[in-house]
Amino acid sequence: MSLEPVRIALDAMGGDFAPENPVAGAIQALKIYPELFVYLVGDELKILNELRKHEVRELRHRFEIKHTTQVIEMGDGAVEGIRRKKDSSILRAVELVRDGLAQAIVSAGHTGAALASAQIRLRTLPGVARSAIATVMPTETNLFVLIDSGANPEVDPENLVEFAIMGTIFSREVLQYKNPRVGLMSNGTEDGKGNSLVKESFKLLSQAPINFHGNVEGHDLFCNPVEVVVCDGFTGNVILKTAESISDAIFSWLKREIKKTPFRMFGAWLARGAFRAIRRKTNYEEYGGSLLLGVNGVCVIAHGASTPKAIKNAIRVARESIAHQVNPMIVEKIKAYHDSQSLVL
């Protein structure tokens, strides 16, 4: 990986434990990645208070506080929030990218506000019609990218082709899968299954410059996974949240059942390595958050409850996307795709 400086704008006020965890995560990242520079965007006094808890003397020339006075709260509407709060940390962080001072934003704050800020202030990359959220989902055997996992409740088939291309590049460059297979989310694996969006998209995806695997259905997602799953943002949101909901439900239910007798508790303690192995591999902290792909800048949306480690990993994902030139590659591949399409016509 190159040692070109990588400049990140961190929304220091975003998340359930801000600015404590964002600041702590930034410091972890600065210690590991020598080429990193971080803008801590938010309330200066509060950030300084957090910085005091850490040993930062040697890092001092590698971060800078950008003071802002407002925070978009969970109760605020996304678009209305960024309209009313011009001096909010998320908007200011995005503006650092728009103005060329930073290459990436990382935020664990209001997801809708982060999305809207990036979409409005950064616009899409040349040739890209819609940006989409790419979320990394862990299975026992691989990691797959679910795109779009929530930005666009309604899309057209051309959008899905762009999502497939962007997801492929992310899977290859950041997750290091050589030739990621792309599955089209449907209600059955047979060709010809699906709603009208899926049926039309199937044809386009078959001709797109990707490793198209055909339709995938819910049964495949975790048991027989591909590397990229393409769908509209409504379906993607439902999948993402259902998956989180059911795995949370299973483990907390299991916990309550185990606590019912001392025997079970002792047994679970003996078997704790098995639980931990799964937990480690499915822990959101490791994946650092979702990427908004297709905007002109790198935008990482971390979990609201992000720990310092999760923030550090979100910064890592931003850094890798920059180092591996994910955005220039998206522009190139999508241009090549559209050029090939116009040749056909």
- Binder to a copy of itself among 9, 240, 301, 311 (CB under 8 A)? 240
CA angle 248, 250, 251 (to 5 degrees): 70
> CB 276 → a copy of itself: shortest distance, Å?
9
CB 30 within 8 A of CB 23: no
> CB 278 → a copy of itself: shortest distance, Å?
6
Place of tokens 């001096």: 87
Stretch that binds a copy of itself, among 28-36, 64-72, 189-197, 308-316 (CB under 8 A): 189-197
185 is an interface residue for a copy of itself by CB under 8 A: yes
74 is an interface residue for a copy of itself by CB under 8 A: no
Tokens of 216: 């995938």
Site track 8-27 with a copy of itself (rule: CB under 8 A), x = hit: --------------------
Question: How far is Cα 173 from Cα 150, in angstroms, rounded to an integer?
Answer: 22
246 is an interface residue for a copy of itself by CB under 8 A: yes
244 is an interface residue for a copy of itself by CB under 8 A: yes
Tokens of 273: 């390595």
267 is an interface residue for a copy of itself by CB under 8 A: yes
**How many other CB atoms sit within 10 Å of the CB of residue 140?**
11
> CB 216 → a copy of itself: shortest distance, Å?
10
Tokens of 228: 């990229």
Tokens of 65: 């506080």
- The DSSP output letter for 125 is P
Type of residue found at 123: R
- Binder to a copy of itself among 74, 271, 305, 336 (CB under 8 A)? 271
Stretch that binds a copy of itself, among 22-30, 234-242, 294-302, 312-320 (CB under 8 A): 234-242
> Residue 53 or 241: which CB sits closer to a copy of itself?
241
How many residues of this chain bind a copy of itself (CB under 8 A)? 60
Site track 127-166 with a copy of itself (rule: CB under 8 A), x = hit: ------------xx---------x--xx------------
Stretch that binds a copy of itself, among 43-51, 204-212, 215-223, 332-340 (CB under 8 A): 215-223
> Residue 126 or 153: which CB sits closer to a copy of itself?
153
Total residue count of the chain as it appears in this document: 345
For 67, half-sphere exposure in the C-beta direction (CA atoms, 13 angstrom radius) is 4
Question: How far is Cα 318 from Cα 339, in angstroms, rounded to an integer?
Answer: 29
305 is an interface residue for a copy of itself by CB under 8 A: no
CA distances from 328 to 127, 150, 297, 323 (A): 11, 23, 10, 11
CB 294 within 8 A of CB 269: no
Stretch that binds a copy of itself, among 33-41, 122-130, 261-269, 323-331 (CB under 8 A): 261-269
Which conformational region is residue 90 in: left (phi greater than 0), alpha (psi within -120 to 50 degrees), or beta?
alpha
230 class by beta-carbon count within 10 Å (0-12 exposed, 13-18 middle, 19+ buried) = buried
> CB 255 → a copy of itself: shortest distance, Å?
9
280 is an interface residue for a copy of itself by CB under 8 A: no
CB 211 within 8 A of CB 177: no
248 is an interface residue for a copy of itself by CB under 8 A: yes
φ and ψ at residue 68, rounded to 5 degrees: -135, 160
Stretch that binds a copy of itself, among 8-16, 65-73, 202-210, 258-266 (CB under 8 A): 258-266
Residue 282 makes CB contacts below 8 A (sequence gap 6+) with 138, 247
75 is an interface residue for a copy of itself by CB under 8 A: no
Chain positions contacting a copy of itself, by CB under 8 A: 139-140, 150, 153-154, 185-188, 194-196, 198, 217-223, 232-235, 237-250, 253-254, 256-258, 260-261, 263-275, 277-278
